[in-house]
Amino acid sequence: MRLPSAAADRLTLLPCYVRGTPPGAVSAKVDLRAKGRNLPAMSRSFPSALVLPATWLLAATLAGGTLRAGWAYAKRAELRHGAELYAIHCANCHGARLEGQPDWQLPGADGTFPAPPHDDSGHTWHHDDAMLTDYIRRGGQAVLDDMGVAMTSGMPAFGEILTEDDIAAILSFIKSNWPDDIRAIQARRNGG
């Protein structure tokens, strides 16, 4: 396999994440020239099945981070769409970096709990996708009431605003920011 010559100077590596990048980042561009030789020239001596994975690992190393397996959960376009929807509909309460509101585990004076984080410090990953989707679609209070949980949720319903695909994209974006071990635990909750 030979990469096109147009990719000789720079190669856009998609879909991958470098740990520590902002939640909206969905790609990394890395200069792959080394001592005047570019990756396509060097790749001729490798079996074609190894070129792309080796390129991704090299890029992650050069970028100084850990390769994030966002591709295991969604396609690049879905992650971008999820990031955009999250910024519009979720970040105001749950934080631009998925950090949630302060003291999210303590109810406010009116009994409503603040918005929890969606990163690995929160509890989003403790729930399966069906519950998370239901929570987004119908709102927190409706779900809690159906479960018989005596708690007040400030989470509004988005079922009239977001499609099922939109909700899936948001969840894929959130998951793509979790460490591998957290994604694995949450996947088991989905039967995976």
The 10s digit of each residue's pLDDT in 133-173 is 999 999 999 999 999 999 899 999 999 999 999 999 999 99
Do both 37 and 17 map to the same domain?
yes
Cα–Cα nearest to 175, from 86, 113, 115, 52: 86
Assign 183 a pLDDT band (cuts: 50, 70, 90): very high
Confidence (pLDDT) at 79: 93
At which of 68, 88, 103 does a domain end? 68
At which of 15, 48, 68 does a domain end? 68
Residue 162, amino acid: L
Do both 47 and 128 map to the same domain?
no
Do both 82 and 170 map to the same domain?
yes
Q: Is the pLDDT of residue 122 over 60?
A: yes
Q: Is the pLDDT of residue 42 over 80?
A: no
At which of 28, 43, 68 does a domain end? 68
> In sequence order, which ranges of 17-163 are alpha helices (DSSP H)?
39-43, 48-62, 76-89, 91-94, 129-138, 140-147
Domain extent at residue 175: 76-189
Do both 142 and 159 map to the same domain?
yes
Assign 49 a pLDDT band (cuts: 50, 70, 90): very low
Assign 53 a pLDDT band (cuts: 50, 70, 90): low
What pTM was computed for the model?
0.62
Do both 38 and 96 map to the same domain?
no
Check if the beta carbon of residue 162 is closer than 8 Å to that of residue 170: yes
Assign 191 a pLDDT band (cuts: 50, 70, 90): confident
Confidence (pLDDT) at 21: 41
Total domains in the chain come to: 2
- Here the tokens at position 81 are 């769409």
